[in-house]
Structure 1
Amino acid sequence: MNYFWMTVILLVTGASAVKIDVSVMEGDSVTLHTDVTKTQDNKVQWYYNGVRIARITGDPSKTCTDVQCNEDTERFRDRLHLDHQTGSLTIMNITNTDSGEYKLQIIITGSSSSDKIFNVTIHVLFCFSPDVITDRVTVTEGDSVTIYTNVTTTQQEEILWYFNDIRIAVITGDLSRICTDVQCNEDTERFRDRLNLENQTGSLTITDINTADTGLYQLKIFSSSSISEKTFSVTVLDVPDKVKTISAKKGESVTFDPGVTQNTNVVMMWYFNDSLITEITGDQSKICSDVQCKERFRDRLKLDHQTGSLIITNTRTTDSGEYKLQIISHILQSSVSVTSLKTFIFTVIDSGQSSAAVAGICVGVVLLFVTAAVGVIYYRKRLQAGQNNITAQPSYQGSARGN
């Protein structure tokens, strides 16, 4: 995305006036403050490049803005607003043609006047076709992504972030203006409190990213003398459920395999029920650095440095719980970092028997049921046969007596 930046500052004459520099983006509203409370005896007048554009006095009939004050000043077209309590001037929907010198004159009856001069600079962005993409990154849904500015902000700088040409974040070097998402633009509520700006650098973090966040993220850094820009293409992939369920019998070993390859630009941290138990940073690793962890696992944890897999030997029922792997990857010459999370729900079964013994017991139980069933069938047949003999015997005896 190519942009052209325009800055207009007019020089100010007059040694007695207080001079203030103001920098805004085209389309914004800006308020020039008088820093006083107006009284009936005060007259507040505003001039733009020497032409009066607003006036407020104790007499409401003499209050005016734009063409009401001067027939030649219709340039603002109802975009000026005066605060009746302070006389402060607000310019709405500012354009690049509004750049210049705004002079405030406060006249106090029976006393001298005081002046302030505001040098207003308008930053104008002209958008063309997206020709240049600085970096491309692919992440998975649910990750957190940080895009770094690789600068430290100064008092004069202003950093802006855009998503598909819509402004989503702004921060100034003096922290006088910070906004994200809907605070910057009423039409950008899509991120819903998932954006975070780093105050020292202006780096942008998108948490819990989803497929709808796929697109171009544009970084603009304005200073008093230059503008720099970067465009990041972010693709978010929809992946299967990141939660796996694993079980093992007491005494067996289990391996939690994240399915990744570890490298020097990746930090991996394993947590058990939200307590850190292992960490891999480059070719260095730590296992159970605190006493509680050492007591629980007692040298039963191992790490695969190639894959980041966690191995637990001689498992116990107390090992059951939630194991989380946090992976922080620094990519694109450390311009972007991606934080992803994988979860394993682990259950240790206390059967008291080996797998072979359990299988043998199962076969024995089946044979017992078969034998019992055969016995019941045989018993029922014998019982039925005996009943038939008893029923038939009286009939035979009766026939014999008849003979």
Structure 2
Amino acid sequence: LKMKIFILCIILSAFFMLVCISAISAAQLDQMKKKEGESVSLDPGVIKHPNDVLMWYFNDSLIAEITGDQSKICTDVQCDERFRDRLKLDHQTGFLTITNTRITDSGAYELKINSSRFNISRNAFGVDTDGVSVMEGDSVALHTDVKMTQQDRIRWYFNSIRIAEIIYKHSKICTDEQCKERFRGRLKLDSHTGDLTITNIRTTDAGVYKLLMNSRNSDRIFNVAVSGVSAAEQNEMKRKSVKEGESVTLDPGVIKPNDLMRWYFNDILVDEITGDQSKICTDDQCKESFRDRLKLDHQTGSLTIMNITNTDSGDYKLLIINSRFSIIRSFSVIVTCECNSVIQCLRKILLQLFSLLIISIIFTCKSKQQIVVTLSFVTL
């Protein structure tokens, strides 16, 4: 009878130990949310004995093993390529540490100890990536945040397909037909920084862009979301037709508080927002052209042109910059004049063009420190 009770106690102890192990694993699930670049340690939850065989698996692939006094990490090429010396195994405790975590490290990690096992549930830990939201027709630049050297090699991937690379300052874009067919000359690669720019972006360009660089210990992941806009909506938002003397507002859409914003008119900087500071027309050419008719909303970033004239017609560009990416959004403004006759309309246009010419001459003379010649003209 005593023997039966003893055996029953052993069975119950084993049962409660398994329950405890499962409870530890479930508790760990809530603690394994990590940001990209951080480290995470997976705790076996049991005391390791000298003769135990511990095997760590990632998505059913063996990545680390302890047998007696011997340990192995990443014995196959696939594991070595994925983790790149970022795994550490504590021989005494069986702890597995993943350093400098990446989004590709998310998944199910499982530990087998002899014949016992417990699971670290799928998505045991996750990493955050950079989200980029743009509008169809925008251009977006994805930044490497480094200055390249002669020895650097970088590779850009879109949904696991290589689309661009730089090897020792030699760049290649879309070397296969699938990439060429998708992007059709809309990719640009900066040979000095490695930044990738997608121009005139489409909804089919939405997805995961991944940067691999040999001089970095980590990859960089960009989740690009593209809002689909119909031709009519895009025309309404980005093409503004306004009568002379009225006001028009160019709306950038949703922006983040820390973004740097710059408004350009025909490639001339007219406005800038940096943090809680804003600047309007810091050079003479801009001041002469707009004469205090620009208004900048610091909260939304929208630009308003008041009492608009024909010379304000043209292309306006908004550049939104942060450390990880830049977005270029283009607007077109067309100013129409109300005239009683064709001759009156032509007079106004010629006068405005002549005024613009004089402003340009004055600005050029000032910059070259020459004598400014005053020109006078007679109203047509």
TM-score, normalised via structure 2 length:
0.49
Task: Decide which structure has greater helix share.
Answer: 2
Task: Decide which structure has greater strand share.
Answer: 1
